[in-house]
C-alpha cells in the first residue's frame, strides 16, 4: 500500500486533471527548491477547491519557477460542516491565531465584523495566506470562504434567518454553551465580539433578533481569540464532524 501522507502538500488555484501541467508561484518554488531541497522527479501532493487532492511530479525546477505534472487523484473533494465564524478584528497576532485555528477546526466561512468597540483592522491578503497555510498543514480539501468586513448592523439587516447565529454574551444571562450548542445544528454561525465586548446597545440588538441565540462561556471573561477557539471546539464536539 502506497503512503503519500509524508509528501509535501500545496494548494493551487488551477484545475487539476491527470496529465495536466501547472506552474507554481515563486513562493512555492522557493519552498520546494530551497527549503525542502526537492529535485526534478520528486513527488508532491496538490489540492484545489472542488478538485480533491492529487499526486504530482516536479517536472521542471529552478529558483524562481517550478512546473509540476499532475499524475493521479488521491482523494475526492469533500467539505466540512456548514459552520461560520464572525469575529471583530483584534490585535494582529491574535487575528492570525483566530484565522489559523478556525481553519484547522473546519470552519466554512470567515467574516470580520465591525462593532462599536472594534479598534483594529485586518489585512485580507494576509488572512488569505494564513488560511491556505493552515489548510495545507491540516489535510483540508477545501478553503474557508472569506468575506470583507461588515458593520454589525449591516450584517444583521442582511442576515438569512435560516442560519442560526450564536453569540457569546459575557454580560447577560444565557444558557451554558454546551447546553445551547447541543441543539443547534448546521447551518450555523458563531459571532465573537471585540476586546471589551459588545456594548449594551449591541447586546440588546442581537437579543432582539429571532435568529440569534446567546450563550455563556462560563464565569471567566475570555479573550476574543480564546472565546472563538472554545466556542468552535464545543460546537464541533456536539454538532460537527468530530
Q: What is the pLDDT of residue 61?
A: 85
**One domain, residues 65 and 96:** no
Residue range 159-209, pLDDT digits in tens? 999 999 999 887 768 888 888 898 888 899 999 999 888 999 999 999 999
Q: What residues form DSSP beta bridges with 52?
A: 48
Residue range 25-48, pLDDT digits in tens? 889 999 999 899 999 999 999 999
Residue 2 lies in a domain: no
Q: Please count the other Cβ atoms lying within 10 Å of the Cβ belonging to residue 187.
A: 14
- This prediction has a pTM of 0.89
CATH number, domain at 126? 3.40.1280.10
Cell triple for 121: 483592522
**Helix or strand holding residue 32 (H, E):** none
Q: What is the pLDDT of residue 163?
A: 96
**One domain, residues 145 and 231:** yes
Number of domains within the chain? 2
Range of the domain at 28: 9-75
**One domain, residues 105 and 31:** no
Amino acid at each position: 500500500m502506497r503512503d503519500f501522507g509524508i509528501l509535501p502538500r500545496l494548494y493551487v488555484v488551477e484545475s487539476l486533471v491527470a496529465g495536466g501541467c501547472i506552474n507554481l508561484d515563486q513562493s512555492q518554488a522557493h519552498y520546494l527548491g530551497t527549503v525542502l531541497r526537492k529535485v526534478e522527479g520528486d513527488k508532491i501532493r496538490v489540492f484545489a477547491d472542488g478538485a480533491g487532492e492529487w499526486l504530482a511530479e516536479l517536472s521542471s525546477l529552478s529558483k524562481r519557477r517550478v512546473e509540476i505534472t499532475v499524475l493521479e487523484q488521491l482523494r475526492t473533494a469533500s467539505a466540512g460542516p456548514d459552520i461560520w465564524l464572525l469575529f471583530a478584528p483584534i490585535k494582529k497576532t491574535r487575528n492570525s491565531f483566530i484565522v489559523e485555528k478556525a481553519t484547522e477546526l473546519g470552519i466554512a466561512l470567515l467574516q470580520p465584523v465591525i462593532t462599536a468597540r472594534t479598534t483594529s483592522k485586518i489585512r485580507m491578503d494576509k488572512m488569505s495566506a494564513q488560511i491556505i497555510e493552515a489548510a495545507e498543514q491540516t489535510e483540508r480539501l477545501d478553503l474557508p470562504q472569506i468575506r470583507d468586513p461588515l458593520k454589525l448592523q449591516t450584517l444583521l439587516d442582511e442576515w438569512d434567518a435560516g442560519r442560526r447565529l450564536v453569540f457569546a454574551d459575557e454580560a447577560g444571562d444565557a444558557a451554558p454553551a454546551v447546553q445551547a450548542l447541543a441543539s443547534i445544528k448546521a447551518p450555523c454561525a458563531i459571532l465573537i465580539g471585540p476586546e471589551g465586548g459588545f456594548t449594551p446597545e449591541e447586546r440588546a440588538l442581537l437579543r432582539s433578533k429571532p435568529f440569534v441565540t446567546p450563550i455563556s462561556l462560563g464565569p471567566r471573561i475570555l479573550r476574543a481569540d480564546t472565546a472563538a477557539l472554545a466556542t468552535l471546539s464545543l460546537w464541533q464536539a456536539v454538532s460537527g464532524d468530530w
